[in-house]
Structure 1
Amino acid sequence: MTSDAVVLRRASGADALAAADVWLRSFTAALPTVHCAHDQAEVRDWFARVLVPKYETWVAVTENSVVGLLVLNGAELKQLYLDPAWRGRGLGDRFMSLAKRQQPDGLALWTFQANESAQRFYQRHGFNAVERTDGLRNDEREPDIRYIWQP
Structure 2
Amino acid sequence: MTPPVIRAARPDEYDEIARVWMESWVSTGLAEANDALLSNLRERVRHEIAQGWSLFVADDNGTLAGMLALHISGRYLDQLFVAPGYQGRSIGRHLLAFTREQMPDEIWLKCARGNEKAWRWYEREGFLYEEEKINPLNGLMMKYYRWKRVRG
Whether TM-score is above 0.5 comes out as yes
Q: How much does 1:34 deviate?
A: 4.6
Task: Give CA-to-partner distance per residue, 1:84-131, whole Å, 9 cap, x none.
Answer: 111110110000100011001100000011111111110111100001
Q: Which runs of 4+ in 1 moved over 6 A?
A: none
Residue in 2 that maps onto 1:76: 76
The sequence identity of aligned pairs, in percent, is 24
Q: Which of residues 145, 148, 151 is equivalent to 2:146?
A: 148
2:3/2:91 contact within 8 Å kept: no
Q: Which residue of 2 aligns with 1:13?
A: 11
Is 1:103 the counterpart of 2:84? The answer is no
Quickly say closer, same or farther: Cα 1:142–1:60, change in 2 above 3 A.
same
Please give the TM-score of this superposition, normalised by the length of structure 2: 0.87
Amino acid paired to 2:30: T
Structure 2 CA distance for aligned equivalents of residues 106 and 90 of structure 1: 22
The residue that corresponds to 2:86 in the other structure is 86
Matched residue type, 2:121: F
> SS at the partner of 1:39?
helix
**Is 1:117 equivalent to 2:117 in the alignment?**
yes
Q: Residues 35 and 140 of structure 1 are in contact (CA less than 8 Å); yes or no, is this contact kept in structure 2?
A: no
SS in 1 for 2:104: coil
Aligned Cα root-mean-square deviation (Å): 1.9
Aligned length: 145
- Scaled by the length of structure 1, the TM-score of the pair is 0.88
Counterpart residue identity of residue 33, structure 1: L
Structure-2 residue corresponding to 1:33: 30
Say which structure, 1 or 2, has more relative contact order (CA 8 Å, 6+ apart): 1
Q: Distance in 1 between matches of 2:81 and 2:3?
A: 18
Give ranges in structure 1 of 5+ residues lacking alignment. Answer: none
Q: Check 1:11–1:52 CA distance in 2 against 1; reply closer, same or farther (3 A cut).
A: farther
- The CA distance in 1 between the partners of 2:144 and 2:56, in whole Å, is 22
